[in-house]
Amino acid sequence: IYNATSDLEKMLALVAALTHDLDHPGVNNAFLMITENHLATLYENISVLENHHYRCALALLHESEVLNNLTEHDRAEFYRQLKELILATDITRQPEFLQTFCRCIESGELQYRTNQNHRLIMLQ
């Protein structure tokens, strides 16, 4: 997969790996929802921590200006894919991602060299 990914996708994977638990409070989503934590309210009890990690990553990227040399389109695409990768770390969604991956493998349709969405599946 290394040779099939662009430099930007490699950077995306690295940033997602580094930030997927950014500012983790040390409790799980269920605890935040049961205790009606402000994060649970903010993210409407949907992938609460993962949404928080993504928002923290966005703030860090904005403050660091590390993506300023990208075009507006590439930056927007980077953020979209970063969100997908970080939200994919929600353990309650793992069966969904595994099923998608297995379906691609079993059907012989996994084309990670030519299909950006399939590369994203591989990165998840």
Binding residues for Zn(2+), as ranges, are 20-21
Q: Which residues are annotated as a binding site?
A: 20-21
CA 116 vs. chain centroid, Å, equals 14
3 state SS of 78: helix
User: Alpha-carbon distance 114 to 116, whole Å?
Assistant: 7
- Whether 82 and 64 have beta carbons less than 8 Å apart is answered as no
Name which of 60, 64, 79 is nearest 19 in CA terms. 60
